[in-house]
Structure 1
Amino acid sequence: MIRTILATALLALMNTITPALSQDVDCDNAETQFDMNHCSGLEFKEADNALNEAWSSARAAMKSIDKNNQEFEPDEPSAADNLLKAQRAWIDYRNGQCAAEAAQYAGGSIQPLIRNTCLAGMTKKRTDELQQMIVDR
């Protein structure tokens, strides 16, 4: 019971302190490992948000293609289903790849930076791929 109360109090304190610290970080001039880790997390979050937007557009485009292709391949998996299958596989690949890259830094303060940088880079590439699918149609 006491552990639960202490853990809850610690979590509440961390939630109050972390945003305050985050506001003081200049990501263009990050110097400490904490700041670099924090900024790389923000970069990944931004990349992930862009990916989600591109995903919505690509998924809608595939559904539109499916509508037009109903008469040609009625027994085949739809473009939207294939895209979903590919996206799920890609997420699993990205997460595994970045975990593998970061594993060599286990226990080190740089590990979050390595992982986040990998996640952001791969996510940006995937966003470009999804956007290209929309442009090419």
Structure 2
Amino acid sequence: MKVYMMHLIRIIAVPLILISTLLFLDSIVLGKTIYSVRFDYKKATPSSVYFSGKSREEIDRLCKTGEHASTADIAACSQRNFEQISAQLNSTIKPLEAELRKGDVDLKADNNPVALPYFEKGQRAWVQYRDNQCYAETYSLGEASMRYMTFWDCMARITKERISDLKSAED
């Protein structure tokens, strides 16, 4: 029985070890880079961490002129730009939601459907659209060093469009 168990362990363990080793070596042999893996922007370190130790003026100059900027600097500038535009979107949405919430009180009192849940659902759908669109644009580049610049620039562009749409709907 002992010999049988040892033989069974070898039969199972050897392929498992081999598969594990091959999976580990795959990432080394194929030369995986930061540009060849999936990216989750929600887990990205804020650009302020990248620029820590630099003054606002230094960051503004680097991001506006691109002078002496590395690819990582430009990507961080693109991320910073998106973060600022995203903050603008949030400050645009808050008063709209407050207005809808206020209007919903009257609608509800008259037994009419309320608007805020639909606005919130639309905003979630828009975020999903934006994210998917920008991932598609980015991943279509393959392993390009412009990958993160492209992603953050896309996020900023589509978010600016959303702000514009929300403001025009307000008028």
TM-score after normalising by structure 1? 0.75
Aligned residues: 119
Q: CA shift at 1:115, angstroms?
A: 0.5
- In structure 1, the partner of 2:95 is 57
| Gap change, CA 1:40 and 1:16, over 3 Å in 2 | closer
Measure the CA separation in 2 of the matches of 1:75 and 1:66: 9
Residues of 2 paired with 1:84 and 1:125: CA distance?
A: 18
**Alignment partner of 1:19 is 2:52:** yes
Q: In the alignment, which of 83, 89, 104 is matched to residue 119 of structure 2?
A: 83
Distance in structure 2 (CA, Å) of the matches to 1:68 and 1:27: 47
Say whether residues 1:129 and 2:162 are aligned partners: no
SS at match of 2:52: helix
Of 96, 104, 108 in structure 2, the residue corresponding to residue 70 of structure 1 is 108
State the percentage of identical aligned residues.
Answer: 25
Deviation at 1:80, TM superposition (A): 0.6
Match of 1:46, SS state, is helix
TM-score, with normalisation over the residues of structure 2?
0.61
Q: Distance in 2 between matches of 1:98 and 1:17?
A: 22
Moved over 6 A (4+): none
CA–CA distance in 2 between the matches of 1:93 and 1:17? 28
Structure 1 residue 102 corresponds to structure 2 residue 135: no
- Matched residue type, 1:58: L
| Distance in 2 between residues matched to 1:127 and 1:108, nearest whole Å | 30
Name the one with the larger helix percent.
1
Paired amino acid for 1:85: K
The answer to whether the Cα contact below 8 Å between 2:86 and 2:159 also exists between their aligned partners in 1 is yes
Answer yes or no: is 1:120 the counterpart of 2:167: no
Name the larger-Rg structure: 2
The equivalent residue for 2:82 is 44
Query: Could you say what the CA RMSD is over the residues aligned between the two structures, in angstroms?
Result: 2.3
Q: CA separation in 2, counterparts of 1:57 and 1:113?
A: 31
Structure 1: segments with no counterpart, 5+ residues: 1-14
Q: Is the 8 A contact 1:58 1:133 kept in 2?
A: no
* Higher RCO (C-alpha 8 Å, min separation 6): 1
Structure 1: distance between partners of 2:125 and 2:50? 37
Deviation, structure 1 residue 22: 8.3
For 1:114, the aligned partner's letter is T
Contact 1:22 1:38 (C-alpha < 8 Å) held by counterparts: no
User: By how many angstroms is 1:129 displaced?
Assistant: 1.9
